[in-house]
Amino acid sequence: MEQDNRNHILNDINQIETKLKELEKEKENIQDSCSHKEWTVNFDEQRSIKRYCSECKRELGYATKEEEQDFLKPRGQQHT
């Protein structure tokens, strides 16, 4: 009985991982078709300041020093 439960859990996890891969591929296809005309600056997971497309959220690279300084200013003092 316990073995059946472990197999069920493993099957569920495998299905989730397969679905995640499919969704990541779909996300990549959408981002590949985006023109990335507008972007924002924000932190990534490692707390680096990077540019991201405003429409598809694709990482576009590191922000310039000026963009970093503007991003780190208190709200209301940033350039628009």
pLDDT score recorded for residue 76? 63
pLDDT score recorded for residue 16? 98
SS3 of residue 51 by DSSP: strand
Q: Which residues contact 31 (CB under 8 A, 6 or more apart)?
A: 53, 56, 57, 58
pLDDT score recorded for residue 54? 95
Task: Report whether 49 contacts 71 (CB < 8 A).
Answer: yes
pLDDT score recorded for residue 66? 93
Question: Mean pLDDT in each 10-residue stretch from start to end of the chain (80 residues)?
Answer: 81 97 98 96 93 96 93 73
